[in-house]
Homo-oligomer: A and B are copies of this chain.
Amino acid sequence: MSLPRPARSVTTANEISPRTGVAFPLRRGHVLKVIDPFGVQVSDLLAYNAHDVREAISNGRTFDYEETIALTAGSRLWSNRSNPMLTIAEDTVGRHDFLLTPCSEATFRHFYPEHPVHRGCFGNLAEALAPYGIEPDMIPCAFNLFMNVPVAPDGTLQVAPPISKPGDYIRLRAEMDLVIGLTACSAYASNGGSFKPIHYAIETDSPA
C-alpha cells in the first residue's frame, strides 16, 4: 500500500509501526504529543504511576470527576486512586473513546471470525509493558485516542471510523511520573479497515 506523506512535518517524532505498540516513561511536567500522520487511525493509550504501577488510568474515575464521557482539551485523565495522571493540553480532533477495552485475540475471534486472529492492541501493550512489571491482568480500559464510538440515545454503541485528518494530534501533559503504553491500533472497525502507523513525540520543555 502506498501512503501519502503526512500533511505536516513530524520528522522529530517516533513511529509506531502498524499493528504494534510501545511503552516508555513520561516524566511529570513533560508533554506527550500523539499524531495521526495519515488520518483515520486509532492509538490506545495506557498510563501507570511510574513509582507504583498498581496505580493505573481509570475510565470510571475519569467519568466521575470530569462528569462527561466526551474528553478533550482541558479534561484530566484520572487514576484508580483518584489522582490526575494526564491533562489534555491540546486536541485538534476532539473525539476519543474511553468506553472500550483494547482489541485482543478474543475480540478478533468475536468480531472478525473471517479474518486471521491478531493479538491486537492488548497483546502489543502486554508485551511492551511487561518490562515495567505490568501483567496482562493489570491492563484496564485504554484511553483510545482518535477512536470514534458514538453512543445512541438508547445506549447502543457503534465503532465508526475516526474523524481525524492527516497530521491531527493530541497533546497530554503528565501530572505525575508515568509509564505510558501506546499503540497503532490493530482492529478493522476502529480505523475504517486500514492499518496505519502512529507518531509520537515527548516535549520536555514546552509550555502545556
What's the least CB distance linking A171 to chain B, in Å? 20
Taking CB atoms, residues of chain B closer than 8 Å to A63 are: 99-100, 157
Given contacts A68-B157, A107-B82, A156-B70, contact A140 B54 (CB under 8 A): no
- Which residues in window 124-174 of A have CB below 8 A to B? 135, 137, 139-141, 151, 153-158
Size band of the A side of the interface?
35 or more
Whether A141 and B100, one on each chain, are in contact in the complex, defined by CB atoms closer than 8 angstroms, is no
Least CB separation from A149: chain B residue = B63
What's the least CB distance linking A129 to chain B, in Å? 15
Least CB separation from A141: chain B residue = B60
What's the least CB distance linking A167 to chain B, in Å? 25
Given contacts A63-B100, A69-B99, A99-B69, contact A58 B141 (CB under 8 A): yes
What's the least CB distance linking A116 to chain B, in Å? 18
Given contacts A69-B151, A99-B69, contact A107 B156 (CB under 8 A): no
Whether A61 and B101, one on each chain, are in contact in the complex, defined by CB atoms closer than 8 angstroms, is yes
Whether B153 and A64, one on each chain, are in contact in the complex, defined by CB atoms closer than 8 angstroms, is no
Cα distance A155–B141 in the bound complex, in angstroms: 18
Interface string of A94-133 (1 = CB under 8 A from B): 0000011100101100100000000000000000000000
Whether B101 and A60, one on each chain, are in contact in the complex, defined by CB atoms closer than 8 angstroms, is yes
The answer, among B55, B80, B154, for a CB contact under 8 Å with A70, is B154
- A-B residue pairs, 10 tightest by C-beta: A70-B155, A82-B106, A60-B101, A60-B141, A54-B137, A68-B156, A69-B155, A68-B155, A63-B99, A61-B101
Give me 4 other A-B pairs in contact (C-beta within 8 A), A80-B140, A82-B104 excluded: A59-B60, A60-B99, A67-B157, A70-B154
